[in-house]
Homo-oligomer: A and B are copies of this chain.
Amino acid sequence: MATDPLSRTFAALADPTRRAILARLVAGECSVTKLAEPFDMSLPAVSKHLRVLERAGLIARGREAQWRPCRLEAGPLKQVADFVERYRHIWEARLDRLDSYLQELKKKEKTHGRKHRGK
């Protein structure tokens, strides 16, 4: 379905198991059997997830016939960071507005409190 690289990356990331696999690989390369351990999942099911990650370029597999360790490839994640960076000013502006609103509320509360004590 997804043919462009960024869509392939997003589709691969749209699954909690695949994101957990990537998180595990931050610590270093790992065999499929070891990767499968924390999941209540058959090896073929895990292998299927690995194929999706591999097709998206998020992991690479070693060449050793018996032990084909997986390792993280962070290139596509950098593309995601670059994509999302273009929207940062929008959520930061929203947080700024929220912050000003809270400051305003605090100021009003103080004035209100002072008035009450003045009575």
Q: Which residues of A contact B (CB under 8 A)?
A: 2, 4, 6-8, 10-11, 13-16, 19, 22-23, 26, 72, 74-75, 77-78, 80-81, 83-88, 90-91, 94
A73 nearest CB across to chain B (Å): 9
Is B84's CB under 8 angstroms from A88's CB?
A: no
Chain B residues positioned under 8 Å from A83 (CB to CB): 13, 19
Kindly report which residue of chain B lies nearest to residue A58, judged by CB atoms: B87
Chain B residues positioned under 8 Å from A90 (CB to CB): 26, 72, 74, 77
Is B10's CB under 8 angstroms from A10's CB?
A: yes
Is A88's CB under 8 angstroms from B81's CB?
A: yes
Query: Given A7-B16, A14-B2, A74-B91, are A81 and B85 neighbors across the interface (CB < 8 Å)?
Result: yes
